[in-house]
């Protein structure tokens, strides 16, 4: 079964800004909330088109991508 994308980049949506799939909400907005110390619940309340599942999947995929770039100790 093919996994649905969490983030899409489409020049027709927000000028190609990476957004949560099926929305016009840039993923950068979630990062800005978290960097500002706001809880995930506040972001989800302010952007109801983004599901908790999508937000968490984005954070998990981001963490995996960053961790994959760190060399592992032998």
DSSP result, the chain = -PPPPSEE--TTSGGG--EETTSS-BHHHHHHHHHTT--HHHHHHH-TTS-HHHHHHHHHHHHHHHHHTSPPP-
Q: Tens of pLDDT along the chain (74 residues)?
A: 667 899 999 999 999 999 999 999 999 999 999 999 999 999 999 999 999 999 999 999 999 999 999 988 66
> Domain locations in the chain?
7-58
We find that the CATH architecture of domain 7-58 is Orthogonal Bundle (1.10)
Output the pLDDT for position 58.
Answer: 97
Output the pLDDT for position 15.
Answer: 96
- pTM reported for the whole predicted model: 0.87
Output the pLDDT for position 56.
Answer: 97
């Amino acid at each position: 079964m093919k996994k649905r994308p969490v983030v899409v980049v489409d020049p027709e949506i927000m000028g190609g800004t990476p957004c949560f799939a099926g929305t016009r909400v840039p993923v950068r907005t979630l990062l800005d909330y978290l960097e500002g110390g706001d809880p995930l619940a506040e972001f989800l309340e302010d952007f109801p088109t983004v599901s908790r599942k999508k937000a968490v999947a984005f954070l998990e995929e981001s963490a995996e991508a960053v961790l994959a770039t760190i060399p592992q100790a032998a």
